[in-house]
Amino acid sequence: MKNKVKINYKKLRPLSPTKNPFGSLVSSIIYQQLSGKAAGTIQKRFLGLFKKLKNGYPTPEDVLKLSDEQFRSVGVSSQKTGYLRDLAQKFIDGTIEPKKFPKMSDVEIKEHLIRVKGIGPWTAEMFLIFALNRPNVLPVGDLAIVKGFQKAWNLRTKPSEKKMRELARDFDGKHTYLSLHLWGVMDEKKKK
């Protein structure tokens, strides 16, 4: 099948690498399974708990100091509270070692991150794209990506993972840019 999808790289959402891997993963956990608006509100309230901090973002130690009531008061569920505490503990005890990320492959980073409760393949892939700006990430488990493939390639049904990987073959090495394009396709569809 000849690829007819063209990416306008100038229109893609710009990416910038994180200076705070812990903060990026906190955000990723907060945003899981929520609309962007709801998650943004919860994240803003969560960060409000730390407004006295110089950089405005908590350290793992700061997160572990929070009570269950403080998490609840800003809208963080008890399940996500457990995830955030596990993340903080694993940063403190060295299970998660962000200084090693530059030398690790995407697969190694995913395997490294899924040691944390609440971080699965999707969260790890979002981290690879938006925090580390890795160029070849295709999150085929993301519903918007699946629908983006369907729309961009004018498919009658949602494609399987195998089909998406086949369609993406022309973008090998640049799957992240294809992902950004497909999210953009779905954003445009929402505006109509």
Task: Please check whether residue 175 is in contact with residue 138, taking contact to mean a CB–CB distance below 8 angstroms.
Answer: yes
**Residue 103 pLDDT > 80, yes or no?**
yes
Helices 121-130, 106-113: crossing angle, 10 deg rounding: 130
Rounded-to-integer distance, Cα 160 and Cα 140, Å: 9
Task: Give start and end residues of each alpha helix (H) in the chain.
Answer: 21-31, 36-48, 60-64, 68-73, 78-92, 106-113, 121-130, 143-152, 161-167, 175-191
Give how many domains the chain has, as a whole number: 2
150 shares a domain with 106:
no
Does residue 90 lie within any of the structural domains? yes
Q: Max Cα separation, the chain?
A: 56
Does residue 3 lie within any of the structural domains? no
**Residue 111 pLDDT > 80, yes or no?**
yes
Task: Give start and end residues of each alpha helix (H) in 32-77.
Answer: 36-48, 60-64, 68-73
Rounded-to-integer distance, Cα 144 and Cα 148, Å: 6
62 shares a domain with 27:
yes
pLDDT digits (tens, 9 = 90+) for 2-53: 557 888 888 888 899 999 999 999 999 998 888 888 999 999 999 999 887 6
pLDDT digits (tens, 9 = 90+) for 129-174: 999 999 999 999 999 999 999 999 999 999 999 999 999 999 999 9
Rounded-to-integer distance, Cα 14 and Cα 180, Å: 9
Residue 188 gets the label, from left (phi > 0), alpha (psi -120 to 50) or beta, of alpha
Rounded-to-integer distance, Cα 1 and Cα 87, Å: 43
Does residue 96 lie within any of the structural domains? yes
CATH number of the CATH domain containing 27? 1.10.340.30
